[in-house]
Structure 1
Amino acid sequence: MRISSWIRQHLAALRALLVLSAITGILYPLAVFAVAQIPGLHDKADGSLVKVGDTVVGSRLIGQSFTSADGKALVQYFQSRPSAAGSAGYDPTATAASNLGPESIVDTLDADPANVKLSLLSTVCSRSKEVGDREGVDGARPFCTEDGVGAVLSVIGPRDADGQVSHPTQVVSVNQACPAVPFLGHYKGVQVQCATPGEDYSMGRIVPIFGDASVDTPVPSDAVTASGSGLDPHISPRYADLQVARIAKARNISEDQVRQLVAAHTDGRTLGFLGEPRVNVVELNLDLDQRYPFRG
């Protein structure tokens, strides 16, 4: 009886395995595939690919970098949001964020520029300066130096009960490697020094300096920070508007013509209330090339 019962149980389990395998491994995938071939869904199911003629040039769902071989922004194109996915950005096989948080404010300096690791603060500062220079606006931000790194000091000296250094013996601008001129001349009566690559200044109190830059910067946050996936093909209408003048000049067309295209590729909030309005950069640049070819 025991052997017979054991056999029945295992036969029942085997039948269940075969039936569920057929349903979930064959019938369900076939049903999903069939639904995906319905007109109106086929394009999305295949990845929302963008083609020029018979050539696939991208996807409406994945951003691209519109830069030259040396990584410089191409003046005739709208620039995408920065990406931390892969070494060159926008790598679907390496989708990821930078994983840097608000406390990432001190760079890792090295005599070899290739080994320098920027903090989140310096990354934002350098991007903001670059965008400001490219678009002809002030890219200065609070807590950033004029040369585009985090305005952070290591204040070294005896501390009081609250951890403050009231009488520092040394002050170092930790993100400005020598022979750079520190962004601040003196701090609490002590001359500020540039940082020596490889030196550890963590023994000091790390003090970010707000500076005199306005919090109302013309360079929006999506121009200097990457998305969580690193693949976002969209930018904010504010960032798109910042680039209109450069695009119009590069392509020898009016700013109104460029704004009309921006409006045509701007999506509103999902369902009318979710998220924010956004501009698809991939589709916008493709439309620009088709309507107003660049003749540089």
Structure 2
Amino acid sequence: MLKHLRPTLVLTVALLAITGIAYPLAMTGIAGAIFPAKAAGSLVERDGVVIGSALIGQNFTADGYFHGRLSATVAPDPADASKTVAAPYNAANSGGSNLGPTSQALLDRVKDDVAKLKSENPSAPVPLDLVTTSGSGLDPDISPEAALFQAPRIAKARGVAEDRIKELVAAQTEGRLLGVLGEPRVSVLALNLALDAQTGKVQTGKSQSGK
């Protein structure tokens, strides 16, 4: 019996060592050597301090900053572990909302958000990505249209010309990969960092991230 079990056990241990230990360590080492920034999480720094990741959005809410897509991620309620509370861009609990197109709660929320956004910029249609959540809840990018829609609010809050904000959006816009894959997009964190660098001041007062 042992004669038949030994090859099986040896093969199992060998495969475990190769696929469970050696291969992951080798891939981690190679990735760290070739793509150190990406392997470390695509971290973003300002003044030597890590303020976020290029892969994960942040919950900017101050009037003087660009806002990202809505996030439906949640976290355990500190007061009651059996419940959850809203925690936008919670990377430990990535996911979207389970509300569907027939949900009245969803329809009411979108209607209210559209009305609020229209009050900020009545002359432009509200971009879809400003009133819908992404599937992951962590999307760091918005469409150029969503960024430009926010230009009047940001220009007013920062006391700068609206054209200056639009020029910044154009400069930060990334095109389709290889000219055909994906859609044009703008990183909200990168855009807000460039905004601070250009205007020379950081907005305070309301909740914000990336600082």
Interval of TM-score (by shorter of Structure 1 and Structure 2): 0.7 to 0.9
Residue 50 of structure 1: aligned partner:
44
Residue 137 of structure 1: aligned partner:
122
| Structure showing greater relative contact order (alpha-carbon pairs closer than 8 Å, 6 or more residues apart) | 2
Contact kept, 8 Å, 2:121 with 2:149, in 1: the verdict is no
Cα distance per residue 1:152-180 (max 9 Å; x no partner): xxxxxxxxxxxxxxxxxxxxxxxxxxxxx
- Distance in 1, matches of 2:182 and 2:135, equals 15
- Report whether the alignment pairs 1:38 with 2:33: yes
The structural deviation recorded for 1:295 is: 6.4
Structure 1 36/295 Cα, relative in aligned 2: closer, same or farther at 3 Å?
closer
Structure 1 295/31 Cα, relative in aligned 2: closer, same or farther at 3 Å?
closer
Residue 83 of structure 2: aligned partner:
none
- Distance in 1, matches of 2:175 and 2:25, equals 34
- Distance in 1, matches of 2:96 and 2:159, equals 37
Cα distance per residue 1:53-82 (max 9 Å; x no partner): 221111111111112xxxxxx111011111
Residue 22 of structure 2: aligned partner:
27
Structure 1 54/19 Cα, relative in aligned 2: closer, same or farther at 3 Å?
same
- Distance in 1, matches of 2:113 and 2:106, equals 11
Aligned residue pairs: how many?
192
| Alignment match of 1:123 (pick from 106, 109, 112) | 109
Unmatched tracts of structure 2, length 5 or more: 75-85, 204-211
TM normalised by structure 2 equals: 0.84
Residue 93 of structure 1: aligned partner:
92
Contact kept, 8 Å, 1:251 with 1:293, in 2: the verdict is no
What pairs up with 1:1-296 in 2 under 5 angstroms?
6-39=1-34, 41-67=35-61, 74-86=62-74, 87-105=86-104, 119-133=105-119, 135-137=120-122, 218-294=125-201
Contact kept, 8 Å, 1:76 with 1:294, in 2: the verdict is no
Structure with more of its chain in helix, by fraction: 2
SS class of match (2:33): coil
Contact kept, 8 Å, 2:174 with 2:184, in 1: the verdict is yes
SS class of match (2:51): strand
Cα distance per residue 1:11-58 (max 9 Å; x no partner): 00111012111111221112111211224x110111111111221111
Q: Over aligned residues, Cα RMSD in angstroms?
A: 1.7
The structural deviation recorded for 1:275 is: 2.3
- Distance in 2, matches of 1:223 and 1:93, equals 23
Q: Which amino acid aligns with 1:54?
A: G
Contact kept, 8 Å, 1:83 with 1:227, in 2: the verdict is yes
- Distance in 2, matches of 1:295 and 1:79, equals 15
Contact kept, 8 Å, 2:60 with 2:67, in 1: the verdict is yes
Unmatched tracts of structure 1, length 5 or more: 1-5, 68-73, 106-118, 139-216
Once the two structures are aligned, what percentage of the paired residues are identical? 47
Contact kept, 8 Å, 2:129 with 2:142, in 1: the verdict is yes
